[in-house]
Structure 1
Amino acid sequence: MHKFLSEDWIKAYKEEWNKNQKLKEELKDFSASIKYYIEGKEGDAVHLIVKNGEAVEAGKADSMDYDFELWASLDNWKRLATGDMGPKAALLTKRLKFKGSMITAMKYMSAFEESLKMMGNIPTDWDIK
């Protein structure tokens, strides 16, 4: 079990990402740095660096400027990971906050949705203090 959005969790997520051939194929022309965090806990953010569809680095976020930032309440992250809420609906209702190129996000919406659904594959401890 990994504490949600901990350094261990994002490293497990990176492994899960790289096992997903469909995702990597859809993102073969996509490279970006992505920061994830729980609303109000930006200081505990983690990041994933993607190059040509492959996750090449995962760990604690630093002060660099990220191409994309995603944040939500713990409850909404859990609803996304368990499939109780779809990624598009989460974005449209602002339950999942997003910073970055919306044009790029729309271009890769199918892969974006896949990457968020994949979060449910990580053995997660949601008990965050």
Structure 2
Amino acid sequence: MADLFSEEWMNQLKDAWNSEPEVKDKLAEINFSSTICCGFKGDNSPTGVFVVENGECVRAGSWNGESADWDMRADTDNWKKWMKKPLGMTSMGMAVATGKLKFNSGDFGAMIKNPSMAGPFIKSFSLMSKIG
């Protein structure tokens, strides 16, 4: 299994994302473009980066100084737990409320209230569990 958020892992996520109409196509409908970063709590910078243009991931890999529209952080144990049992709408809200999942960039509250973004976002977490 590739290391979490490594170049290899992020590119596997890119392939899964672009193959999933409930993520890619739904986000294309709203012209979603964003630089999404992820990593670990306590680190100064993210580990992985995921660049989305009009719903499609056009680049993924190791973070190289890109400015993040979204920067999600959690500790290693929580990321691993969510890879086995992906977060749903309620469990994601709880993870954010309890500080297990932190957004260093991005407005989680606004995103989760927007059905055209929330559904694909939740689905993208389930894609993470398919990598390995």
Q: TM-score range by the shorter chain?
A: 0.7 to 0.9
Give the counterpart letter for 1:92 in structure 2. A
- Structure 1 CA distance for aligned equivalents of residues 74 and 86 of structure 2: 14
Query: Against the structure 1 CA distance between its residues 63 and 104, is the aligned structure 2 distance closer, same or farther, given a 3 Å change threshold?
Result: same
Residue matched to 2:85: 83
Q: Which runs of 5+ in 2 are unaligned?
A: none
Runs of 4+ in 1 over 3 A off after TM superposition: 41-44
Q: What is the percent sequence identity of the aligned residues?
A: 29
Note the alpha carbon deviations across 1:63-119, whole angstroms, 9 max, x for none: 232100001001111122211653232223221111213324532111111101110
- Structure 1 CA distance for aligned equivalents of residues 8 and 65 of structure 2: 20
Residue matched to 2:113: 106
Residues 23 and 124 in structure 2, CA contact (< 8 A), matched pair in contact too: yes
Q: Which runs of 5+ in 1 are unaligned?
A: 124-129
Give how far 1:22 is off: 1.3
Q: TM-score, normalised by structure 2?
A: 0.83
Supply the RMSD in Å over aligned alpha carbons: 1.8
Residues 88 and 113 in structure 1, CA contact (< 8 A), matched pair in contact too: no
Residue matched to 2:102: 97
Count of matched residue pairs: 123
Residues 18 and 24 in structure 1, CA contact (< 8 A), matched pair in contact too: yes
Query: Against the structure 1 CA distance between its residues 27 and 77, is the aligned structure 2 distance closer, same or farther, given a 3 Å change threshold?
Result: same
- Structure 2 CA distance for aligned equivalents of residues 115 and 75 of structure 1: 19
Partner SS, residue 22 of structure 1: coil
Residues 39 and 71 in structure 1, CA contact (< 8 A), matched pair in contact too: yes
- Structure 1 CA distance for aligned equivalents of residues 44 and 131 of structure 2: 21
Note the alpha carbon deviations across 1:40-65, whole angstroms, 9 max, x for none: 33446110001111111001112232
Residues 38 and 46 in structure 2, CA contact (< 8 A), matched pair in contact too: no
Residues 80 and 87 in structure 1, CA contact (< 8 A), matched pair in contact too: no
Partner SS, residue 22 of structure 2: helix
- Structure 2 CA distance for aligned equivalents of residues 20 and 72 of structure 1: 24
Partner SS, residue 59 of structure 1: strand
Q: TM-score, normalised by structure 1?
A: 0.85
Which deviates more, 56-65 or 87-96?
87-96
- Structure 2 CA distance for aligned equivalents of residues 106 and 35 of structure 1: 21
